[in-house]
Amino acid sequence: MPSLILKTLQTTLPLRVFAVFSVAFAFGSPCAAAYPEKAITIIVGAAPGGTGDQAARIISEKLGAELGTTVVIENKAGAGGILGSQYVARANPDGYTIMMANIGSHSINYSLYKKLPYTPEDFSAITLVISNPNILVVNSSTPFKTVQELVAAIKKDPNLYSFGSAGAGQSPHLSGEMFMQRTGIQVPHIPYKGAGPATGALLGNQFTFMIATAPSVMAQIKGGKLRALAVTSDTRAPELPNVPTMAEAGVPNMLVTAWFGLFAPAATPQAIINRLQQATVKVLNTSDIQNRFKEMGGIAGGNSPAEFNTFVRAEIANWKQTVEAAKLSLE
């Protein structure tokens, strides 16, 4: 009898071991199968108040509920998103530290900076969260009612004017450089550590104009504190139907779409990437989130990791051409 039991164990044990490994493989790893078991932190590489920060905070509660955990937002501002990106690139690839990155940190920076402490290969794309046009804005206390009035004043005496942005290398900065190229003007650039500080500086008349992401300035535009002169999309923004496009304002070939999306460290298991993407898509598809993004002047994303990765690679190539044409380079 004992020999029969031993023979039975020898026969069935490999099948049981195979079954266990099959279940683990299906989830990517035992850790991925249990994910998440603790709070998830979304790193925002800019100061509070910008589009990425707003979007991260808007989706965080619903995303946490969908994943069955808490989602914490942590701002690591500085160096055009480099500090936050570097932090996430070096984080443990377990799905508990991810990033709300943007067109600047994950497209423009790769060609703008001579030395960058991270590469595209350091990240795994999760999904696009929000996209929106940029908006040329001035303080409402200034006399400028149109793009042409602003450009004419600057051409008359450039030394009196300057433009600000959410940070060197970010979409608003490069949009400002592109705007100067297209209109034949040149004024100093003043970078800030995020859209919030930059908007506050414009409200305080610390510089003349800014091309900002729509969500970061929409409230101030609607509140009458900032005046929108043009949008960088090919059609007028639904939330600002009376504001012309750059083309309508006499500035040709000035199309810019700012975007913000989630990324994880490169070695994060694909099962965790998929879990995060699927949960985020469910949140983005709710009418509440879509309406809130619309009020900000943005459009909800939700593409697949593969689609988002392809999109980002194309953006890297497109902005490389723009940076090289402007002969821009930062240390």
pLDDT in tens, 223-234: 999 999 999 998
Instruction: In whole angstroms, give the CA distance from residue 34 to residue 24.
Output: 10
Q: Which residue has the tokens 């996430």?
A: 88
Q: 298: domain range?
A: 36-131+258-326
Count of domains in the chain?
2
Same domain, 275 and 319: yes
pLDDT for the residue numbered 47: 86
How much is the pTM? 0.79
Q: What does the angle CA 205 – CA 211 – CA 214 come to, to the nearest 5 degrees?
A: 105
Single residue among 231, 246, 274 that ends a domain in this structure: 231
The predicted pLDDT at position 323 comes to: 86
Task: Give which of 39, 112, 92, 93 is closest to 69, Cα–Cα.
Answer: 39
194 within a domain of the structure (yes/no): yes
Residues 187 and 218 in one domain: yes
Q: Are residues 138 and 222 part of one domain?
A: yes
Classify each residue of 262-274 as buried b or exposed e, where b means 16 or more C-beta atoms within 10 Å of its C-beta. Answer: bbbbeebbebbbe
Same domain for 56 and 117, yes or no, is: yes
- Are both 138 and 226 inside the same structural domain? yes
Both 149 and 225 in one domain: the answer is yes
User: 59-83 pLDDT, tens per residue?
Assistant: 999 999 999 999 999 999 988 899 9
Determine the average pLDDT of the residues in 188-199. Answer: 92
The answer to whether the beta carbons of residues 39 and 98 sit under 8 Å apart is: no
Residue 196: CATH number of its domain: 3.40.190.10
Tell me the pLDDT of the chain averaged across its residues.
89
- 150 and 84 in a single domain? The answer is no
CA–CA distance, 202 with 79 (Å, rounded to integer): 20
